[in-house]
Amino acid sequence: MRQQLGFNGLISTDATPMVGFTAVMKRELAIPTAIQNGCDMILFNKSLEEDYGFLMNGVKNGILKEERLDEAVLRILATKASLGLHKKQAEGTLVPGKDALAVVGCEKHRKMAKEVADKAITLVRDEASLLPLSAKKYKRIYLNVIDRNDDPNSDFVKMWKEKLEAEGFEVRVRDRRTRLSVMDLADPSRITEEKQMLMNELYRSVSDMKKDYDLYLYVCNMENASNNTTLRLNWNVLFGLGDDAPWHAAEIPMLMVSTAYPYHLFDAPMMKTYINAYSGNDDFVTACIEKMMGRSEFKGISPIDPLCGKDYI
């Protein structure tokens, strides 16, 4: 950063209590070593007093040179001065007032959000030549939203359903809350109306399914999070009957849209048409549907390998 990019600003470590930092070496060595090797500031501590002691000991035993420490302190002070923090502290304006919240959702930022969505959304593959969609060709859509929240009436599900219906589609939403068990099959009295509908879904013939739906649309809204180191698609299955797994990918037109995690093709390689939208907010969903309908071109270029190194494209 300093030599190749010419960056002369403040550099901070990432959070030092994290395993990536703590597992490399003893903390008493890692703290001064991080500063000696170019970081100017430590982010978060296990113990502030202990880390300060480790830093001072690092100076005493030669791990951290005084000139490097002075340089780090200078950058910290310069950063504070450039932000006017000393003046704001004297004026009592370090914390903005409530009126500063007016900038949230302002027209300028809304316009930027729409531009980002337009440029970001990526058509990863369309081997089935499914796109663009039209209500004339794919009138009846079966919408299966895979989310941590299985509520078919959630705001996110309703947003997709309403936007698709506004395009002229007839949309049926999969209720992923419904589960079947061995006890249900053994005791018919346990079969509720919702479970009966699912039973019909499981044991329905391929020809019957084709009579009911023109397009099966998966929307995966599986957002990753800090310390959530793995994220995999989990299908609702019963005795290998498929349930809402894409067992019928070769039978009817099928499309998957990911509104968060970009690696779902790892678990759904049978998807011949797949879109990474990166976000599930209204601007991104609206832009995604515009592109699905062919009114806007896909401009995004995948920043990652959506197949995770596999070669089953």
Residue 207's pLDDT is 84
CA distances from 195 to 184, 190, 201, 258 (A): 9, 9, 10, 28
- Calculate ∠ Cα 191-192-193, nearest 5°: 125
- E-strand spans in 204-280? 215-220, 254-258, 273-276
Give the pLDDT means over successive 10-residue stretches in the chain (313 positions): 91 93 93 96 95 96 96 96 94 89 91 96 96 96 90 94 98 81 76 73 76 93 82 73 77 95 92 96 97 97 86 60
| 291 contacts 297 by C-beta, under 8 angstroms | yes
3-class SS of residue 14 = strand
Q: How far is CA 20 from CA 16, 23, 40, 137, in A?
A: 8, 6, 19, 51
Neighbour tally for 202: CB within 10 Å: 15
pLDDT at 289: 98
Tokens (6 digits) for 55: 């830093």
Which pLDDT does position 274 carry in this prediction? 97
pLDDT score, position 245: 82
Domain definitions of the chain by residue range: 12-91, 107-292
Residue 140 phi, psi (nearest 5):
-105, 115
Give how far Cα 107 sits from Cα of 34, 93, 112, Å. Answer: 42, 26, 9
Where do we find the tokens 């990863």? 124
Residue 240 pLDDT: 56
Looking at the domain that runs over 107-292, which CATH code has it been given? 3.40.50
* Calpha distance 313→127 (Å, rounded): 9
